[in-house]
Amino acid sequence: MDAIEVIVAKRDGGELSREQIDWVIDAYTRGEVADEQMAALNMAVLLRGMTRREVVAWTDAMLRSGTRMDFSELPRPTTDKHSTGGVGDKITLPLSPAVAACGAAVPQLSGRGLGHTGGTLDKLESIPGWRAGLSPERMRAQLLDVGAVVCAAGDDLAPADRKLYALRDVTGTVESIPLIAASIMSKKLAEGTGALVLDVKVGSGAFMKDTERARELAGTMVGIGTDHGVRTVALLTAMDTPLGLAVGNALEVAESVEVLAGGGPADVVELTVALGREMLRAAGLDGGKDPADALRDGSAMDVWRRMVAAQGGDPDAPLPTAAESHVVAAERSGVLARLDAYAVGLAAWRLGAGRARKEDAVAPGAGIVLHAKPGDPIEAGAPLMTLHTDEPARFERALAALAGGVEIGAAPADRLPLLIDRVE
């Protein structure tokens, strides 16, 4: 085979064979297919799409480019969650311990943030001593002992995806739903979980801005998981306004601990419980202990503390705080009609909570604490939010990001429901 033959077949709307897909993914990973040739193929996929059979084969080829973890010998069934990313999305932190406290093993491979969306590893790395890098042997031991692990993926898991993603990022092909789905699912399938729940975000702060595109992505990923023998279900959830009241790494850890202690914002608790129930159902553990009970009775907190300590962290250590703060007050009285997730996420990024490039550092204490959510009454001069940063020069650009993202009116604007749809 040669790359031009494969490019032309997809350019002309043909369905690529498994042999063509296997060859081109392997050849590109080994450097036999040039970046410009794979970029042309990615663009052809973006414009022409893929059948379900092609997407499954593409995912499988990326999956086989590296190792695949296997936790089938564990005495507990394994189940995992993946979120497509959002603002204030700290759900993994209370969710993994809660599900483990209900009898499942949760092997969660997570990533770092880029742009306005936060990364789970960045949040956890704000805990003094906590480390993200674990060997498969350490993961297995922690799953046996604690029941949950959240860590970074090793370099040998789906290496084809890392190379392809970097290319898509600079060639305008990130938006292709088949390529997005294959990228996500190759990594999640490589971690060896027996069941998978997908949290597909919808709204201004999400990658998918409208419900129909999100539903298409969810359906594609569920199909890939199902065809690879993994029980997979997806929830479409709202990301038009931030989740919870904290946006920023250490701030979100503190809020997650509140949830684990039986409190916390209602939307964070609701989504944690909904996803937890789906994870347990997918793992065949529905009908047993409920995640809501695990949050209330302290068992989820017990798992959290053991999980953090097992990875070198001190669950009792003070979290980092930013050196400077600035209160944003309401300009008039009324109802907080809209609080745009993207505007808040961009402001938190500019305060130092996020990164523009993957090699950038983040400020663990930077971010935003919200004092009101859409629908709440507000008085003129009352605090809407507090900005936190180590560098006061950052406040001006953060405030500029918020311009137009906050509206106070007579009534709340129409909003997406937190739980929009379920796809299986």
Q: How far apart are CA 327 and CA 370, in angstroms?
A: 10
Query: Within 13 Å and on the Cβ side, how many CA atoms surround 292?
Result: 9
263 lies in the same domain as 217: yes
Domain annotation covers residue 29: yes
CATH number at residue 245: 3.40.1030.10
393 lies in the same domain as 258: no
299 lies in the same domain as 328: no
Closest of 80, 128, 113 to residue 279, by C-alpha: 80
pLDDT in tens, 345-397: 999 999 999 887 777 889 999 999 999 999 999 999 999 999 999 999 999 99
131 lies in the same domain as 251: yes
pLDDT in tens, 29-84: 999 999 999 999 999 999 999 999 999 999 999 999 999 999 989 999 999 999 99
CATH number at residue 394: 3.90.1170.30
pLDDT at residue 355 in the model: 82
Domain annotation covers residue 116: yes
Domain annotation covers residue 317: no
DSSP string, 357-404: STT----TT-EEEES--TT-EE-TTSEEEEEEES-GGGHHHHHHHHTT
pLDDT at residue 53 in the model: 96
Structurally, how many domains does the chain consist of?
A: 3
pLDDT at residue 88 in the model: 96
Domain annotation covers residue 420: no
Q: What is the mean pLDDT of each run of 10 residues along the chain (424 residues)?
A: 95 97 96 96 97 96 92 94 95 98 95 81 96 94 97 88 88 91 93 95 94 96 95 98 98 98 98 98 94 98 98 97 98 96 96 83 95 96 98 97 95 92 96
pLDDT at residue 320 in the model: 97
253 lies in the same domain as 277: yes
100 lies in the same domain as 10: no
pLDDT at residue 356 in the model: 76
Burial 346-372 (b: 16+ CB within 10 A, else e): bbbbbbbbbbeeeeeebbbbbbbbbbb
Q: How far apart are CA 46 and CA 39, in angstroms?
A: 10
Domain annotation covers residue 319: no
264 lies in the same domain as 401: no
pLDDT at residue 390 in the model: 97
Write down the pTM of the prediction: 0.94
Give the domain extent around 25.
Answer: 3-49
368 contacts 386 by C-beta, under 8 angstroms: yes
239 lies in the same domain as 381: no
In sequence order, which residues have a C-beta less than 8 Å from that of residue 170 and are 6 or more positions away? none
pLDDT at residue 401 in the model: 97
CATH number at residue 27: 1.20.970.10
The residues carrying an active-site annotation are: 82, 161, 168, 183, 187
Q: Where do we find the tokens 């704000």?
A: 126
Domain annotation covers residue 75: no
200 lies in the same domain as 244: yes
Where does a domain end: 286, 310, 334? Answer: 310
Domain annotation covers residue 421: no
pLDDT at residue 118 in the model: 81
pLDDT at residue 89 in the model: 96
Closest of 322, 219, 234 to residue 274, by C-alpha: 234
109 lies in the same domain as 210: yes
305 lies in the same domain as 330: no
202 lies in the same domain as 243: yes
Domain annotation covers residue 202: yes
pLDDT at residue 332 in the model: 95
